[in-house]
Structure 1
Amino acid sequence: MLGAGSFVVALMLYAGYLYIEAFYSYFHLGTFAVGFDSLEFALRSLRLVTLPVFATLVVLVLIPYTPELLALLGVPERRVRAVREYGHTLARLHPFLIVAGAVLMALWQPLRGLNWLAPLCVAVGLLLGQTSAATARSPRRRRAWERAVSLVVAGVFLMWVVALAAGDLGRRDARRTAHRLVHRVAVVVLSTERLSLTGPGVVDENLGEGLRYRYRYSGLRLLVERDHRYYVLPLGWRKDRDATFVIEDDDSVRVELRPGVRPHGASTRG
């Protein structure tokens, strides 16, 4: 039980790291350069637990207990036995599921966004191969090390599935963020010296002599803030041409955060 819990925690940290890495690399930032910690990795991993994923996990957990659940619901015994036999047959067919995963790997490029199906098939096939139904009719008894190797390999393939899903979700969320920058927190930078803040949508104003913060820059949106560093983007930011600015909050700079543009149809009542 402890080993399974440790594996889940490791999987959450791994998924969170890959999600954050995919998201922020889209904006030319490194995960550790920004300064995320393990708690944030774990929390970001929950982004993967959408309703369809959660429903699928619940179904997978309940599948082994289907005969018992049917019996509790008053389903006739002969039908319960038939369902149990179907389950045993599926478990004994686990080699075909592994082969199907290998075939899907050969079709990696055409699958595109469904690449995760290949390692998932292999992982599920390996796990089914460890069930009592799959081993009951085996001509020889499996040794402990063989079972251990199968479980380790299945775990590696599950981590591969998570890596593919987390990376894909991170990139999709990054693209969505870039397309909706106007809705993010607006940033106004006031500086004692002229800064090299240029880009599509950036407004550079000279407020005149006699003011401590003479130069004002607007048309910026906040991506993330860490340790008095503000990572900001110009409103017209594009991945292939524009920079992400890093603003250090010190005595020569004042950073003001203001509301972004509300999405169309959002309530204006506070």
Structure 2
Amino acid sequence: MSLLAAVLFYFGWASTDAETRALGLHDSIFRLSTSDYLLRSVEPLFLPALLLVGALLAGIGLQRWVTKSPGRAGTAVRRMRWGWLLPAALAPFYRLYPALFELIIPLVAIPGLLATAYAFTRTPPDAASDAAQRRLRLQIWALSLVLCLLSLFWAVSSYAGIVGRGRAEEAARAVNTSAFPSVVVFSEKDLMIRGDGSCYQYVKGKDSAYAFRYTGLRLFYVSGDRVYLVAWKWRPSKGTLWVVRENDSVRVEYVSGPLGRQPEC
């Protein structure tokens, strides 16, 4: 469970870091908590989890099929000794598509290393050298598991980068859709929210508690009492992220419906 929690947290942080960097920001701006990172990692890992379960079931079926025949098992074990060559064979193709092979190489390395360790430790040790053989087996498995763990975090980091950059591209496309709720901000003082399609108005009502009204804004993120806003013309390559704190002097309204998607200005 500790390893699973560590992988989930690392994936949540790595994907958020890749997403914010693609947007020209940094994840520390949003002051995310541990639970935020864990929650952000759940949905993207559904597909890898299903693929992992499918691979394990296929491996179990293959193992049962191989062990039914002694000759077949011997051939399989001899071939498994060369499993470590699989990631090495893919390395020359890395430059063709780095983003893809950064994910494929560690994913191939994990089963390849495990297969190699299994093949080299499968033969029963001789009675005369039992202690030495056991130490050798433990060393092989320890080294293999360490390399597999490093490959796992490498694969998680690569997949998180793909997910994060995909989220950033989706955010850039969806800023003026229902994915980004429309926001109206009222404030006692001028918050200096200008540009990217945003606009401000003086509130003329004498009994109003607020003097300024800001429209043309979209909700980017909420963290505690901090509301992160962008304007409807915002783009990652050129745009401003505003951070507003909700308090007695600032009120934030969230507008739903098709009218909320209008430029409002």
Q: TM-score range by the shorter chain?
A: 0.7 to 0.9
* Matches of 1:251 and 1:63, distance apart in 2: 60
Cα deviation for residue 151 of structure 1 reads 0.9
Q: Determine the C-alpha separation between the residues in 2 that align with 1:92 and 1:102.
A: 19
1:125: Cα distance to partner? 1.7
Match of 2:227 among 222, 225, 230: 230
- How many aligned positions are there? 247
- Alignment TM-score, normalising by the size of structure 1: 0.79
* Counterpart-to-counterpart distance in 1, 2:79 and 2:35: 39
User: Corresponding residue for 1:268?
Assistant: none
Instruction: State the 1:69 CA deviation.
Output: 6.4
Paired AA for residue 240 in structure 2: A
Does structure 2 conserve the Cα–Cα contact (< 8 Å) formed by 1:192 and 1:215?
Answer: yes
Asked if residue 54 in structure 1 is aligned to residue 82 in structure 2, the reply is no
| Cα separation, 2, equivalents of 1:157 and 1:230 | 38
In structure 2, distance between residues paired with 1:64 and 1:149 = 22
Q: Distance in 2 between matches of 1:255 and 1:83?
A: 69
The residue aligned with 2:129 is none
Which residue of 1 is the match for residue 110 of structure 2? 123
Structure 2 gap ranges (5+): 126-131, 260-265
Cα offsets for 1:220-265 (capped at 9, x unmatched): 1111111211001111111121111101112221111122659xxx
Secondary structure, aligned partner of 1:251: coil
Are 1:44 and 2:31 counterparts? no
Residue 173 of structure 2: aligned partner: 179
Q: Which whole-Å deviations, capped at 9, do the CAs of 1:161-191 have from their partners, x for residues lacking one?
A: 1001012101111210221112121110111
For the Cα contact (< 8 Å) 2:196–2:240, is it kept in 1?
Answer: no
- The secondary structure found in structure 2 opposite 1:164 is helix
Q: 2:147 aligns with which of 143, 149, 153?
A: 153
1:219 to partner: Cα distance? 0.9
How far apart are 1:47 and its partner, in Å?
2.6
CA contact (8 A) 1:122 1:154 kept: yes
Q: Shift of residue 115 of structure 1?
A: 2.5
1:37 and 1:120, CA in 2 relative to 1: closer, same or farther beyond 3 A? same
- Confirm or deny that 1:189 pairs with 2:176: no
CA shift, 1:206, in A, is: 1.8
Sequence identity, in percent? 26
- Please give the secondary structure, in 1, of the residue aligned with 2:9: helix
TM-score scaled by structure 2? 0.80
Residues 13 and 83 of structure 1: CA distance in aligned 2, closer, same or farther (over 3 Å): farther
